[in-house]
A and B are shown apart, each in its own frame.
Chain A
Amino acid sequence: MVSRRDFLKITGTAAGTAALTAVGAEASAPHPDLDPDRFGVLTDTTLCIGCRRCEWACAEQNGLPHGDLESYGDTSVFDEMRRPNAEAYTVVNRYSPPAGTQQPLDVKVQCLHCEHPACVSACIVGALEKSPMGPVTYDAWKCIGCRYCLVACPFQIPAYEYAEPLTPRVMKCTMCAERTLKEGRAPACVEMCPPEALVFGPRFELLELAHRRLAENPGRYHPEVIGEQIVGGTSWLMITDRPSAEIDIPDLPNESPSVITETIQHGIFKGFTGPLMLFGILSILMKSSSDKRKEKEDENG
């Protein structure tokens, strides 16, 4: 019979395994492999005119279903808040003008390309990858379709081709990696943007630019560069005229959500220390209990 003492042992070892998980909250903010000159995009929502040309350019570039250019002049889509989906990597939403002004605020939504992306950390086969140069890219060939990336993304960006029976893909903005990484060209949406509300360039320069704009036009902007700190930073930055919560950006800490899981994973499984320790303990337990049993049997006869 298992004594109470033995049970404390069981729970003790278990707790020990899991306790490893809680230790070591090493900060993870930017990914260590990131290139210091990595790309980014800065969206200045106060310059956006809501022409939706970026949506068209994106669809055109990425082979997504789209109508002709003029059909994107339809502003009735602003009646409801839209999200990127399997057929559109990016959408523009319209928010009411701030008090005392006439111009509505148009906000382009797309993958922010986190510096330490939860989706990449979650991906079971490495189909999602963070390029050292910024973009978070997707390899449909590797993907097994578990949709853990959709669960992990704090901004709810990746979309899934649910309607596709056999070859569904995870759909999200790639920062036009085939242009940016191979040709050094700006993403299609940036190139298209008429008022240059989108600027493509090295992230650190964009950060400087953003801060300069905030400093030079304090009345025009809310003093925060969205993407500088949130979830450990994102490659895509944004400045706007109001607090980020008012343009439906979730309230998130300045630490990647994947820090928790990665700390746990590495805490337990680094060099297989945890499992090996447990294996050792269990072996000793098994040996001693069988010895004890033999002794008992010998005594009994």
Chain B
Amino acid sequence: MRKSSIIRLLFLGLILIVVPNLAAGQIVDPKHPKDSKHFPSAEKVTACVSCHTCEKPTPDDPCLVNCPRHGAHFYGHHEVAEGPEIVIIDQLADLYRPVVFAHRLHAEMSNMTGGCENCHHYSEQSGVIPPCRECHDAAKGPVSLNQPALKGAYHRQCMNCHRDWSHASACGFCHEQVHEGIGTAVPDTTDIVGIPHPNITSPPTFTYQTTYEEGPVVTFHHVDHVDNFGLNCVDCHRGDSCSRCHEPEKPKAQKTRVDHVTTCCSCHGQRDCAFCHTEQSKPRFEHTRTAGWALEPHHTDVACITCHGSPRDFRTPSDKCTSCHIHWEVGEFDHGVTGLTLSEDHVDLDCSDCHLEMNFSVRPSCEDCHDEPMSPDRLPGIRK
């Protein structure tokens, strides 16, 4: 009896000594590199099974588990401003030009939901985020079936949200083709409310009450600026942040008066105060009233900048037709649009034959060419 219980004790002791060492042996492999990936800190030892599926991973066959996409391997917190503003993604630029990735903008968006981990699913313990290509091989096929190669990793990262957002998978949105001539323009990355953003509905008119006594009311017709003046969102909203609209509860930097004035004055800088500050609210823009020159009927579809240049560089064009229509030649111009359809005898004449010195503001008279006024209506054609 005694003998057997001693043996039992010895056996138990043996187990107690050997087993922990066996277990530890799996982790503390003397040949294993003591890198931060496996030994993030002195206290913390990553359990093998959290990354590897097999007992003895080798460099050739690391038998990695699927990387947990969210959180598990991400340490630390980063401010939006810490990241780069723009990242040029050019590792796979054979078919397309490098992609210009507005990192800051995306970081800001991400900050409103899941933070950096929305995209960066891994960081070293120190908080350093390695570039995607360090794990995701740029080689054409995936190295391991469990892990997408670089191309797949990028696309899944981007398309996951972009499809939800715009339901589009137009490659040209991010990519410009390498081949000449068929490239699509890279969008303005500071334009956060531009094309990719789902349609934003804005009130057509904002009316501000100001403390400026001589003209307390400032009427801003947003609809005119967007629909008629052809401004892009980014022309005024440059530098706006996502949270301005998406996190209304979040305290935001109040725009000062000067901010407004600066924005408006970037175009309207030459105007006096009364241009904006009025006693009553201003009606919407009407070309006839403002300029004394009706756009109807032939100029309604002409963009403002065609005649007036860019909003910042506004110019008043001459009222002479030739100030714009300088390229018309005989036969090209349909005189009928003026309301007077030329008769057969006149239709082939040069413009300058009647409009002397191409001065279209002076009405031609029959006597310039003919000895006496011509019947029936002293007109070279039929007026509609």
Contacts and interface: CB of A to CB of B under 8 A. Distances in A.
A249 B66 CA distance: 30
B159 to A, nearest CB: 5
A156 interface: no
B141 A49 contact: no
Contact of A196 (B66, B155, B163): B155
B164 A103 contact: yes
A191 B164 contact: no
Interface residues of B, number: 23
A186 interface: yes
A191 B148 contact: no
B2 to A, nearest CB: 54
Interface stretch (B167-175, B271-279, B314-322): B167-175
A17 to B, nearest CB: 50
B123 interface: no
Query: Helix, strand, loop or mixed for chain B's interface?
Result: loop
Nearest to B157: A195
B146 A49 contact: no
B142 interface: yes
B156 interface: yes
Interface in A177-229: 185-186, 190-191, 193-196, 199-201, 205-206, 209, 212, 216
B140 interface: yes
Given A195-B159, A206-B145, A49 B152 contact: no
Given A51-B169, A212-B66, A194 B164 contact: no
A199 B151 contact: no
A53 B172 CA distance: 13
Contact of B163 (A73, A103, A209, A212): A103
B172 A103 contact: no
Contacts of B125: none
A69 B95 contact: yes
A72 to B, nearest CB: 9
B156 A196 contact: yes
B182 interface: yes
Contact of A49 (B142, B151, B155, B182): B155
B199 to A, nearest CB: 15
7 A-B pairs with least C-beta separation: A196-B152, A195-B155, A194-B155, A49-B169, A196-B148, A51-B169, A49-B159
23 contacts: A49-B155, A49-B163, A49-B169, A51-B171, A69-B95, A69-B177, A70-B182, A73-B170, A103-B163, A103-B167, A186-B140, A186-B141, A190-B141, A191-B141, A194-B151, A194-B171, A196-B142, A196-B148, A201-B145, A205-B145, A212-B66, A212-B146, A216-B66
Interface of A: 47, 49-51, 53, 68-70, 73, 75, 102-104, 185-186, 190-191, 193-196, 199-201, 205-206, 209, 212, 216
Interface of B: 66, 95, 140-142, 145-146, 148-149, 151-152, 155-156, 159, 163-164, 167, 169-172, 177, 182
